[in-house]
Structure 1
Amino acid sequence: MSANRLMARLEERIRLTGPISVADYMTACLADPEDGYYTTSPEPFGRDGDFITAPEVSQMFGELIGGWVVATWIAMGAPDPVHLVELGPGRGTLMADILRTARLRPALMDAVAVHLVELSPKLRQRQGETLGGFSSALKVAPQWHEHLSRVPEGPTLLIANEFFDALPIRQFVKTAKGWCERVVGLDNQGKLCFGVSSVALAGGLVPDTARAAEAGAILEASPASAAIAAEIGVRIAAQRGAALLIDYGYLRSAPGDTLQALSRHAFADPLAEPGKADLTAHVDFQALALAAMQAGADAMAPLTQGEFLLRLGLLERAGQLGAGKAAATQERLRGEVERLAAPDQMGELFKVLALSTPGMMLPGFERRGR
């Protein structure tokens, strides 16, 4: 038996019922109630964890998002109440920075109800600790939910930063039979390995950019991501609002194997230690926009993270924070700006998609055609 309990259970499951999809494998690795990464990892985020997200890089990221939230709320007509929702809030750092900025607009703080969509009990506790300082500024204490569907109806401002990359994906391999599903099975030694099943992807679901792909190419799809994007679209189309989706990924659906495992800030074998490393895949922003638009929402023309933050005033905010400060502080701020916005760091790899109630214009974005 393997020393890794989840690996042993997955191997036994495959022996009994056959290979499983990549999506089922990711779900088990990340969300298994006993041995999943997000249910057992003591600290996945930050320099002491396995990866660093933009809010942990610099307070400027969350402050600029906070400014966007304030401006968008005003553009909505300043509804009271308004639901401020974050999907996958991590340690609560981003929401804390947003609320600190929102304090500059007391009317928004009086109107806002904070909702955090989080499954992990450990992370819920950490988020509560991070947001504890805002208890006196909020009329209603933050509320936690397992699913977006549990958030009450009403005007909504939704933020999802590095949320969709952790949702399970299905993978398909181009074969002589067409695009057949990639699966996780067992090799001759009974160890986890990748294989290909006979389940083929319907031709109508293959994007135009993949039709001429060569044998062995891999195509990814995330039904879970599309379903959540559609749910967001339905909500904001019917109840007024906007959503900001930030993640690493690509703008057009195309072949490519982006499944990866991260452990201690380094890439790892996705099959080596189930439940011990973070599994992610690049986000297909074209698919997200399409799902939301089909549900009734508008989708703005997406931006790179670098362009988005610069439009919101990243350089100006860095200048304010560094004014009159020591050289070391100014150098640190320059480094944070580079990390967030430089093309060779997070600036180009990360994309930003904004969704809205039909007819709205959102700060920093331009409308795209349907």
Structure 2
Amino acid sequence: MERLDAFMARATAAYYATRDPFGAAGDFITAPEISQAFGECLGLWCAVVWEQMGRPDPVILAELGPGRGTLMADALRAIAEVAPAFRAALRPHLVEASPRLREAQRARLGADVIWHQEIASLPTGPALILANEFFDALPVRQFVRRGDAWAERFVADGAFLEHPALDAPPLPGAASEGAVQEVSEMSRAVVATLAARPGTALLILDYGPAAGGFGDTLQAMQTHAAADPLAEPGSRDITAHVDFAALAAAAREAGATAHGPLPQGLFLQRLGLATRAAALARARPSQAAAQLSAAQRLLAPEAMGRLFKALAVCDAALPIPPGFES
């Protein structure tokens, strides 16, 4: 028997260590794999924030959980074309624990990258950090309202067990019987650590509610279909919705400024993703329909545009980053 967050951490580590889950042949598709315009827009977002920072040289450009390296490759290509001074100043860093995915990243990006097993080993200094669908994979604890107290969920033999919550964090008092409250202590700790770094801007894109709330959002995907998150640990992708309000609060408590969250569709629209996709469609007529369909998938409220959110965590001395202006 183990606490849910321990089970999730163990299952996720085993899952990513043994497979490449991305794309049509895998278990799910992320935004960088849908359209190159996604990574290009994020790269140019970083270029503008670098200008706001005062053009530090050198500057770290890091990605957390970089998958196959697709986002970073697209970002670096766009940066080299549009902001060559930024490209000369930046040093690419990837935080990736999976040896298999590191090999995929090395094949795509070459040797001009420094890899890290964990966030703590990122060097000090000005930094731009991208986290796309990273926080949803971090472990959560689940608490269930039982009478006038909270019970915590544990996992044993592929099923939930409940035990009295002995060390529960502060939880809302007004909750109906059986209500589930999720808490990701690791997510809050990661944001607090990065928010405390001087001269840092962190951009988070992930799925979840703008404000916290009750609900069991634990889910698993296998071959693009829903699966039992408690069965066969290590064989499927396990995630939970990101509590953006909790991340923003952790950032502010660490002394940083939190901007957003905004719906991803609105954020990407402001960055010009639709315009870039239209340009790609004109340049590649045979792929025009696919380019425009991919952009619509990222932007449309009924697709990824509303469920996914964007949150920026910045050094308090920095101005409002692009896309977050009111």
1:242 is aligned to 2:201: yes
Mapped partners of 1:334, 1:23: distance in 2: 39
Listed as ranges, the matches of 1:266-305 within 5 Å are: 266-305=225-264
Mapped partners of 1:71, 1:324: distance in 2: 25
1:223 is aligned to 2:189: no
1:15-48: CA deviations, max 9, x gaps? xxxx3111011011111xxxx111112x211111
1:266-324: CA deviations, max 9, x gaps? 00011221110011000000111111111111111221110000000122112211226
1:23 is aligned to 2:5: yes
Cα distance, 1:201 vs structure 2: 5.7
**2:102 match:** 124
**1:358 match:** 316
Contact 2:5-2:140 at 8 Å conserved across structures: yes
- TM-score, length-scaled by structure 2: 0.96
Letter in 2 for 1:131: L
Listed as ranges, the matches of 1:184-195 within 5 Å are: 184-185=155-156, 191-195=157-161
1:188-246: CA deviations, max 9, x gaps? xxx421121012565x7114xxx3321111100000000000011011xx2x1311001
Cα distance, 1:176 vs structure 2: 1.1
Mapped partners of 2:281, 2:297: distance in 1: 17
Segments of 4+ moved more than 6 angstroms: none
- Higher mean displacement: 328-337 or 58-67: 328-337
Three-state SS of the structure 2 residue aligned to 1:323 is helix
- TM-score, length-scaled by structure 1: 0.85
Mapped partners of 2:80, 2:211: distance in 1: 38
Letter in 2 for 1:272: A
Listed as ranges, the matches of 1:95-244 within 5 Å are: 95-104=72-81, 105-132=83-110, 141-185=112-156, 191-200=157-166, 202=168, 205-207=170-172, 211-235=173-197, 238=198, 240-244=199-203
Mapped partners of 2:122, 2:283: distance in 1: 44
Q: Based on CA coordinates, which of the two structures has the bigger radius of gyration?
A: 1
**1:343 match:** 301
Mapped partners of 1:358, 1:366: distance in 2: 16
Mapped partners of 1:271, 1:156: distance in 2: 37
**1:16 match:** none
1:61 is aligned to 2:27: no
Mapped partners of 1:142, 1:257: distance in 2: 38
Mapped partners of 1:325, 1:293: distance in 2: 44
Mapped partners of 1:345, 1:317: distance in 2: 19
Contact 2:260-2:310 at 8 Å conserved across structures: no
Letter in 2 for 1:196: E
Unpaired runs of 5+ residues, structure 1, are 1-18, 136-140, 186-190
Mapped partners of 1:337, 1:200: distance in 2: 47
Letter in 1 for 2:10: A
Three-state SS of the structure 2 residue aligned to 1:276 is coil
Match of 2:280 among 301, 318, 321: 321
Mapped partners of 1:346, 1:146: distance in 2: 30
Three-state SS of the structure 2 residue aligned to 1:300 is strand
**1:138 match:** none
Letter in 2 for 1:119: A
Mapped partners of 2:166, 2:292: distance in 1: 49
**1:12 match:** none
1:137-174: CA deviations, max 9, x gaps? xxxx2100111111111000000000000001000001
Letter in 1 for 2:118: H
Mapped partners of 1:273, 1:20: distance in 2: 15
**1:264 match:** 223
Contact 1:114-1:142 at 8 Å conserved across structures: yes
Give the count of matched residue pairs: 324
Q: CA RMSD in A?
A: 1.4
Mapped partners of 1:73, 1:324: distance in 2: 29
Letter in 1 for 2:16: Y
Aligned identity (percent) is: 49
Unpaired runs of 5+ residues, structure 2, are none
Cα distance, 1:183 vs structure 2: 1.1
Letter in 2 for 1:228: V
Contact 1:172-1:181 at 8 Å conserved across structures: yes
Contact 1:178-1:200 at 8 Å conserved across structures: no
Mapped partners of 2:283, 2:162: distance in 1: 60
Mapped partners of 1:332, 1:27: distance in 2: 36
